[in-house]
Structure 1
Amino acid sequence: MAARIRLPAAIVYVAVLNDGVSRADEHAHLQRLPGQHALASDALNANFLRLRSEGFSLKWERHSEFTRYSVMQALPPDVEPGPAALDALALRVPPDWLARIPGRTFVAIKMVLLERSLAFAPSALAEAQGWFGEHAVVASTMGGGHSIVVTDFRLRASGFEHVVVLAEPGTPETRVGRISQRLLELETYRLMALRGLPVAKALAPTLAQVEAALAGVTARLEQRDASEAALLDDLIATAARIEHATAAHGYRFAATQAYHAIVENRIAELHEGKVAGVQTLGEFMQRRLSPAIATVTATAQRLAALSQRISRTSALLRTRVDIATESQNQQLLTQLGEGQNTQLRMQATVEGLSLAAITYYVVSLLAYGFKALKHEDWLPISPELAIGLAIPFVLATVWWTTRRIHRRFFGH
């Protein structure tokens, strides 16, 4: 919700990264403001808080990655335009309190909002330029010409950027509040979007190495004598680097896209108009921001493409391993078939020898019987003839008995 701001006014805005900063730390710091020692801790549960004190009001907002502090106060009537005027502005909030805000500051802005006629934009621009000295500025009319914003995007020795807003007399306080909020959010989200650029630049050498390694693995896939185990080890190592990079930086790249979308949205909400002779805020930001966003986008796409290439290479390697395994299995089956045939031949030989041996022993036993019968004159022929006649019958009987046993146990 935008604050109601009565002109003329000054805003001191600080945004800090809140990684490692707890809500309790921020609560303790807010309690150090004049008259806020009794501030309840549950007042910060809604991630939004507006405090009013003598001579100023403060808005606190906690987001997922950063926390914003906006201090609003009336602009003293004796303030004269000049390059050092805003840094010399007497603040109602203690300066050391601003310096000790918990977290790492990434945006610090001092904004002055004045009530001026904008019937002749060049004269309004000239007045606003008086706050910046000889430095080049960017400027835009906003809301169909009801206000004009001027800044130079320079960081002073004090650590603050300066912004001047001129609004038509009679501009509603709520509109002034919305204008200031959009401008402050615009710079905040622009700098948050830029946080992805150093990450993308730092990741570029790693991606180049991974691309080279993956190309090497793919080339070796075409070589028949390449070891599948070595290929798999190299592919796993390459995939691990990409997965680590995705896990470590994927959120930052996605956040960059989200913040950039908010920047474009805030620029559109300003309904900018051109001021002759200077760039608009939107033009300046897009020229500075677009290359960075393009780099981050390209890096994110490159990372995703590498992940997909690794998946395809993994599928190719899996196919190669499957084919090699199938070939080995076929060879094993062939060897097993040959071994089984050999075993069957050996079994047939053994069975033949067994038939001969059993027949021999049975005939030997019959020989004793025939000789005994001949001794008692109960055998009309000689024992040798009887044995010779018995051999075919014994052999047939042994063979028939063996086949029955074989069928009973093996089914064929």
Structure 2
Amino acid sequence: MDHPLRATLAGELHARPFLRLSGSASMTHYAVYNDGNPAIHETLVHVLCRETGIEPPAEGATHCSVQSPCGWHLKWERHTEFSTFTFVAPRNDQGWFDDLAIRGIPAGWFRQLDGMLLVAARLELVSGDSARATCGAPRDWIGGPILAGSKVLGGGKVFCDWSVPPDGLMRFLVIDEDFREEQGGRLLQRLYEIETYRMMALLALPVARRMARDLDDIHAALQTLMRRMDAADANHNDAELLVSLTHLAVRVEALSGSVGRFSASRAYEKLVLARIQELREERIEGMPTMAEFMERRFAPAMETCRTVWARHDQIADRIARAVDLLRTRVNLAQEKDVTRLLAGMERTARNQLHLQHAVEGLSVAAISYYVLSLTAAAFKALHVLWLPVEPELAEGLLILPVVAAVIGITRRTRRRLQRADEPADVTLRRAVELNS
């Protein structure tokens, strides 16, 4: 009875559960990004499982959660553009931010991440007596230039400086003062998601900066072309201007290949803001909250991306309008040329008509002359046969009838030809009137 996709879609809500943590825990989180080799994500997780003796995920799986013999727990997730490796280990000492969560992982596996590691962070969840001692001196563990912190979820505190220390792993310190069940695991996951999505969103910033320089060049070239279009002698180089505008349109269209990056950036930005809102932050006197820190540092970068893409669309619209204007002017110039050509054709036809009338007069005289000559020859032949016919008299009497007959035949022929040519003349006159 069930649809083939029912079980899959229903299970999607439970596909990536939060970590269940009780007591202090150490977490190391990596986000791997490689847009040129999507298969590397599955390769990395299978190599890790093989080298550490844990069961690899099933073929085609996008996430797995498995316990390692080395003491840490692996949570792997495959996203659209990146994958994450999260290692968690329970902590029974106070060696915060050490390698507890990644002990036993071969160094060769980490070397495979070279050039692909976008996020690397260590998160410490401190509870019990250690929480009270650590909460009083977060600077002992996080030494960045600006320390951000806040009370979260009504039962703990979070501290971070959003900077990368010499060991390359960003630090988050989470103090469990009164977390309810599973709140600690959910909080840690939200924190590393904030950092991961933040970095993914910022991938659009270098693209936006490069695009801004290209748009500056295109805008300057467009301004120059618009001034040339407005010049007094612009009609003489419309074809050249149209070619130049077409080249600009091609350059702008080539920049449209980044639309996917900007769209993804907007989606990641929404996720970052949603995860921060889920923290339900309360201010700790003397330091900014995470929301305030993001508003100051992260929001301007995202606004830059939005502004550059909006500018790209505006310049593309301006070029399209300029091309339309230039094409309209070219069409008008062509219509004027066609009007002049049709008017010239009409004058030529009229001259030909006058010439035809003159030729017809000469033709009447010539035809009449030849007809009368033939008639005179005939009468002379009859006169030789001793018929009572005077050739000169007969020829003289036939002059008027012959001329009248030739004129009648010529006019009848002309009227017949005019009736045949009338549709073409009407079409020509209408074309001239429309173009004038």
The verdict on a shared fold, with TM-score over 0.5 as the criterion, is: yes
1:214, distance to aligned residue in structure 2 (A):
1.0
Q: What secondary structure, in the 3-state scheme, does the structure 2 residue paired with 1:46 have?
A: coil
1:7-406 equivalences under 5 Å are: 7-19=23-35, 20-22=37-39, 23-36=41-54, 39=56, 41-42=58-59, 45-54=60-69, 55-75=71-91, 77-80=92-95, 85-87=96-98, 89=100, 91-94=102-105, 96=107, 97-101=109-113, 104-116=116-128, 125-132=135-142, 136-143=146-153, 145-169=154-178, 171-172=180-181, 174-226=182-234, 227-247=237-257, 249-374=258-383, 376=386, 378-379=388-389, 382-406=390-414
1:39, distance to aligned residue in structure 2 (A):
2.8
Q: Which runs of structure 1 show a deviation greater than 6 angstroms over 4 or more consecutive aligned residues? A: 117-120
Conserved 8 A contact 2:380-2:391: yes
Distance 2:167 2:98 in 1: 7
Distance 2:363 2:140 in 1: 121
Distance 2:198 2:291 in 1: 11
1:329, distance to aligned residue in structure 2 (A):
0.7
Q: What secondary structure, in the 3-state scheme, does the structure 1 residue paired with 2:74 have?
A: strand
1:30, distance to aligned residue in structure 2 (A):
2.9
1:118, distance to aligned residue in structure 2 (A):
12
1:275, distance to aligned residue in structure 2 (A):
0.6
Post-superposition Cα deviations, 1:110-138, rounded to whole Å, max 9, x if no partner, equal 11101248999xx7642433322586421
Distance 2:167 2:87 in 1: 17
Distance 2:270 2:26 in 1: 28
1:89, distance to aligned residue in structure 2 (A):
4.1
Conserved 8 A contact 1:141-1:148: yes
Distance 2:152 2:238 in 1: 65
Conserved 8 A contact 2:72-2:89: yes
Distance 1:183 1:5 in 2: 15
Post-superposition Cα deviations, 1:213-237, rounded to whole Å, max 9, x if no partner, equal 1112222222353312101111011
Post-superposition Cα deviations, 1:255-310, rounded to whole Å, max 9, x if no partner, equal 22221111111111111110111111111122111221121111111100000001
Q: What secondary structure, in the 3-state scheme, does the structure 2 residue paired with 1:12 have?
A: strand
1:340, distance to aligned residue in structure 2 (A):
0.9
Corresponding letter in the other structure for 2:348? G
CA RMSD of aligned residues (A): 2.4
Conserved 8 A contact 1:116-1:166: no
Q: What secondary structure, in the 3-state scheme, does the structure 1 residue paired with 2:65 have?
A: strand
Distance 1:393 1:263 in 2: 109
Q: TM-score, normalised by structure 2?
A: 0.84
1:385, distance to aligned residue in structure 2 (A):
3.6
Corresponding letter in the other structure for 2:62? N
Distance 1:205 1:222 in 2: 26
Conserved 8 A contact 2:131-2:176: no
Distance 2:106 2:387 in 1: 144
Distance 1:187 1:40 in 2: 25
Distance 1:99 1:148 in 2: 34
Higher relative contact order at CA 8 Å, sep ≥6: structure 1 or structure 2?
1
1:370, distance to aligned residue in structure 2 (A):
3.2
Q: What secondary structure, in the 3-state scheme, does the structure 2 residue paired with 1:32 have?
A: helix
Post-superposition Cα deviations, 1:352-404, rounded to whole Å, max 9, x if no partner, equal 2221111000011122233345553513xx53343222111101111222333
Conserved 8 A contact 1:117-1:167: no
**Taking every aligned residue pair, what percent have the same amino acid on both sides?**
36
Corresponding letter in the other structure for 1:323? L
1:79, distance to aligned residue in structure 2 (A):
2.1
1:24, distance to aligned residue in structure 2 (A):
4.3
Corresponding letter in the other structure for 1:129? R
Conserved 8 A contact 1:29-1:101: no
Conserved 8 A contact 2:159-2:174: yes
Distance 2:279 2:266 in 1: 20
Corresponding letter in the other structure for 1:265? A
Q: TM-score, normalised by structure 1?
A: 0.89
Change (3 A) 1:273 1:93: farther
Corresponding letter in the other structure for 1:25? T
Corresponding letter in the other structure for 1:50? S
Corresponding letter in the other structure for 2:67? R
